[in-house]
Amino acid sequence: MMKTLLLLYLCLYVTWALDMLEYDDYDVDNKAQAKNATSEGAAVDARGHRPLTRGRETYSANRYVPPPISGGSRYRSRPTPAPVGGRQEKEKEKEEYNEAGGCMHASEAVGVLCPTGCELKNSLQKQERNVKSIIVELKPQIDDLSRTSNNVYNYVNGISNSLRERQLVFNNNNQVVRQYTDQVEEQHAYIKETVDTVFPSNIRILQGVLDKIRLKIQKLEKAIVAQNDQCKDPCKTSCPIPVVSGKECEDIFRRGGHDSQMYVIQPDPLFPPYKVFCDQSTQNGGWVLIQNRLDGSVDFGRRWDEYRRGFGNIAFESSKRFCETPGEYWLGNDRISQLTKMGPTEVLIEMKDWTGAKVHAQYQRFTIQSETSNYVMAVDGYSGNAGNCFLDGALELFGENRTMTIHNSMMFSTYDRDNDNWNPGDPSKQCSREDGGGWWYNRCHSANPNGRYYMGGAYTAQMAKHGTDDGVVWMNWKGSWYSLKAISMKIRPYFASR
């Protein structure tokens, strides 16, 4: 019996050991690196992945995903820059346009670009029309009530006169008509009280309401007069949109928009134009800013529909009266997908820590599929000094644990739309819910640009909402427990002769 128990115990121990070896399937070099790191007192505290519960879970990262769009570019190499004189003339035209007011864009779909008193005037005029219509309805009702009260009052006076005459006529027959007289007097007293108190009170209330309405109308009329005086001059905005526009920022650059600022683009003529921030200086420009984090002013823990449409602040005004300072925003998955599917597209991820140090990661091919595929991401062609999180995963992890943090070929997930590889369909195991934002999560991440914003950089599991590394993380540069000060994602058409 003891031998049988020992043999069973030995089998269980061997099975457990095999599971542990399978879980930590490191190669020889990785083992040596981990041993050296531990011996130097720099023990790895990497997160990002969600380990498997052996025997109860399986992980499969294999999924067919169309490769990123490559091949022929939709742009040729940029033309030779125009002469200096021609550029000066364009600048002069732009200045004249701005001095003229800059209130309307060439595209009617954009409309008025500056909030002015004129809009308040229109609003006040609408209110005045609504109030006047109500007053017009009230006036005849009040007039009818006044006429009715006058008729009742005259009728009561007639009854009073009749009563006095009857009292004189039937003075000698008081005993006969006393019961009828008492009833008439009672009715007379009731009607008299109603006419003398209730009706005048109601009329006074209505008159008070009417007086208040008249005062409001007077105030509105004064406000409209003041707005009319202020609207005599053309409206001016402190942050006008440049006249030049195009399909995307590369097209705008070729049309002469060489300043980094907010522009209006229209990739598809069948859809309305929209505002973006164009970076026209980094690596010769042409970049559409699709994501930006810089101060934590915008919450990125959003729903699926908000990530689909986009959210945040495109840009702010600067000393030149143009929107040259980008804000925190997400352009929107529909728009990102449309731009990347127009042709070969490259993406540049720039990041900065709290000491001011900067690194970048760049991919020559970057494509986001449509919503029907849950915005699957495909990237290739890495270069840079930040670490290849999208294709390699977190270098601090090894084997299957690292594979869990690769973002390439992943679908987009938000806390209300679970598309990650961590037990799909289990509401208690959602990467987006734990890691703070919408992203192309696997199981779960090596990069988390849309995570929670932590001031100062370093943070701990105790500070995190779910105890996970939910900060603005790029693990291959600063690890799991350092939240970056700034990170941005920019895309532009790719062509080799740039």
Percent of the chain surpassing pLDDT 70: 75
Most confident segment among 119-133, 213-227, 291-305, 311-325: 291-305
Domain boundary among 205, 230, 255: 230
Locate all alpha helices (DSSP H) within 259-399, ordered by sequence: 304-309, 333-340, 389-392
Q: Are the C-beta atoms of residues 26 and 399 closer than 8 Å to each other?
A: yes
Domain identity same for 258 and 278: yes
Quick one: how far is CA 81 from the chain centroid?
Answer: 38
Q: What is the pLDDT of residue 122?
A: 65
Mean of pLDDT values over 281-309: 96
Distance, in Å, from the CA atom of 163 to the CA atom of 181, rounded to the nearest integer, reads 8
Nearest Cα to 473, choosing from 38, 47, 182?
Answer: 47
Domain identity same for 489 and 376: yes
Q: What is the pLDDT of residue 62?
A: 67
Domain span at 204: 119-230
Q: Does 143 score more than 70 pLDDT?
A: yes
Residue 84 located in a structural domain: no
Q: What is the pLDDT of residue 233?
A: 63
Q: What is the pLDDT of residue 40?
A: 35
Residue 383 located in a structural domain: yes
| Segment among 40-49, 312-321, 343-352, 465-474 with least mean pLDDT | 40-49
Question: Which residue's entry shows tokens 């823990």?
Answer: 301
Mean pLDDT of the chain, nearest integer: 80
Q: What is the pLDDT of residue 159?
A: 81
Domain boundary among 195, 230, 265: 230
Q: What is the pLDDT of residue 31?
A: 39
Distance, in Å, from the CA atom of 251 to the CA atom of 278, rounded to the nearest integer, reads 11
Residue 223 located in a structural domain: yes
Q: Which amino acid is at 479?
A: G
Residue 323 located in a structural domain: yes
CATH of the domain at 475: 3.90.215.10
Quick one: how far is CA 489 from the chain centroid?
Answer: 17
Question: Which residue's entry shows tokens 């195009």?
Answer: 246
Q: Does 257 score more than 60 pLDDT?
A: yes
Domain identity same for 247 and 355: yes
Domain identity same for 200 and 258: no
Q: What is the pLDDT of residue 41?
A: 35
Domain identity same for 157 and 275: no
Residue 196 located in a structural domain: yes
Tokens of 249: 């920022």
Distance, in Å, from the CA atom of 180 to the CA atom of 302, rounded to the nearest integer, reads 81
| Segment among 18-32, 61-75, 180-194, 272-286 with least mean pLDDT | 18-32
The structural domain count of the chain equals 2
Q: What is the pLDDT of residue 221?
A: 84
Residue ranges of E strands in 124-279: 261-265, 274-279
Q: What is the pLDDT of residue 139?
A: 78
Domain identity same for 173 and 289: no
Q: Does 59 score more than 90 pLDDT?
A: no
Q: Residue by residue, what is the 3-state secondary structure of 219-255?
A: HHHHHHHHHHHHCCCCCCCCCCCCCCCECCHHHHHHC
Q: State the Cα angle at 151 between 146 and 157, rounded to 5°.
A: 125
pLDDT band at 191 (very low <50, low <70, confident <90, very high): confident
Q: Which residues pair with 359 in a beta bridge?
A: 351
Distance, in Å, from the CA atom of 206 to the CA atom of 282, rounded to the nearest integer, reads 69
Distance, in Å, from the CA atom of 65 to the CA atom of 462, rounded to the nearest integer, reads 37
Distance, in Å, from the CA atom of 282 to the CA atom of 249, rounded to the nearest integer, reads 12
Q: What is the pLDDT of residue 391?
A: 96
Q: Does 133 score more than 90 pLDDT?
A: no
Q: Does 483 score more than 80 pLDDT?
A: yes
- Beta strands 473-474 and 486-493 are unpaired
Domain boundary among 188, 213, 230: 230
| Segment among 31-45, 224-238, 305-319, 342-356 with least mean pLDDT | 31-45
Distance, in Å, from the CA atom of 337 to the CA atom of 46, rounded to the nearest integer, reads 32
Mean of pLDDT values over 458-470: 93
Radius of gyration of the chain (CA): 38
Q: Are the C-beta atoms of residues 249 and 285 closer than 8 Å to each other?
A: yes
Q: Are the C-beta atoms of residues 421 and 440 closer than 8 Å to each other?
A: no
Residue 374 located in a structural domain: yes
Domain identity same for 298 and 250: yes
Q: Does 384 score more than 80 pLDDT?
A: yes
Q: What is the pLDDT of residue 92?
A: 43
Q: What is the pLDDT of residue 100?
A: 36
Residue 54 located in a structural domain: no
Q: What is the pLDDT of residue 374?
A: 95
Nearest Cα to 406, choosing from 108, 141, 48, 2?
Answer: 48
Residue 313 located in a structural domain: yes
Q: What is the pLDDT of residue 260?
A: 93
Domain identity same for 198 and 308: no
Domain identity same for 158 and 256: no
Percent of the chain surpassing pLDDT 90: 45
Nearest Cα to 448, choosing from 291, 320, 322, 333?
Answer: 291
Terminal-to-terminal C-alpha distance of the chain: 79
CA max distance for the chain: 136
Distance, in Å, from the CA atom of 473 to the CA atom of 407, rounded to the nearest integer, reads 13
Q: Which residues pair with 377 in a beta bridge?
A: 368
Q: Does 234 score more than 60 pLDDT?
A: no
Mean of pLDDT values over 263-291: 95
Nearest Cα to 459, choosing from 427, 482, 484?
Answer: 482
| Segment among 27-31, 116-120, 139-143, 390-394 with least mean pLDDT | 27-31
Q: Does 42 score more than 90 pLDDT?
A: no
Quick one: how far is CA 199 from the chain centroid?
Answer: 56
Q: What is the pLDDT of residue 321?
A: 63
Domain identity same for 447 and 470: yes
Domain identity same for 287 and 350: yes
Residue ranges of E strands in 266-419: 274-279, 287-293, 311-312, 315-316, 325-326, 329-330, 345-352, 358-368, 377-384
CB within 8 Å of 371: residues ≥ 6 apart: 308, 333, 334, 337
Distance, in Å, from the CA atom of 260 to the CA atom of 258, rounded to the nearest integer, reads 7
Domain identity same for 438 and 299: yes
Mean of pLDDT values over 43-70: 77
Q: Which residues pair with 458 in a beta bridge?
A: 482
Q: Does 4 score more than 60 pLDDT?
A: no
